[in-house]
Chain A
Amino acid sequence: DAGITQSPRYKITETGRQVTLMCHQTWSHSYMFWYRQDLGHGLRLIYYSAAADITDKGEVPDGYVVSRSKTENFPLTLESATRSQTSVYFCASSLGLRQADTQYFGPGTRLTVL
Chain B
Amino acid sequence: GQQVMQIPQYQHVQEGEDFTTYCNSSTTLSNIQWYKQRPGGHPVFLIQLVKSGEVKKQKRLTFQFGEAKKNSSLHITATQTTDVGTYFCAGEYNQGGKLIFGQGTELSVKP
**How many interface residues does B have (CB within 8 Å)?**
27
Contacts known (A48-B98, A105-B43, A108-B42); A100 close to B92, Cβ less than 8 A: yes
Whether A81 sits at the interface, judged by CB under 8 Å, is no
Whether B95 sits at the interface, judged by CB under 8 Å, is yes
Per-residue CB proximity of A79-92 to B under 8 Å, as 1/0? 00000000000101
**How many interface residues does A have (CB within 8 Å)?**
27
Per-residue CB proximity of A33-64 to B under 8 Å, as 1/0? 10100001111110010100000001100000
Known: A33-B98, A103-B35. 11 other contacts (CB 8 A): A42-B102, A42-B103, A45-B101, A48-B97, A90-B43, A96-B97, A100-B33, A100-B92, A102-B33, A103-B90, A105-B44
Residues on A lying within 8 angstroms of B by beta carbon are: 31, 33, 35, 40-45, 48, 50, 58-59, 90, 92, 94, 96, 98-100, 102-108
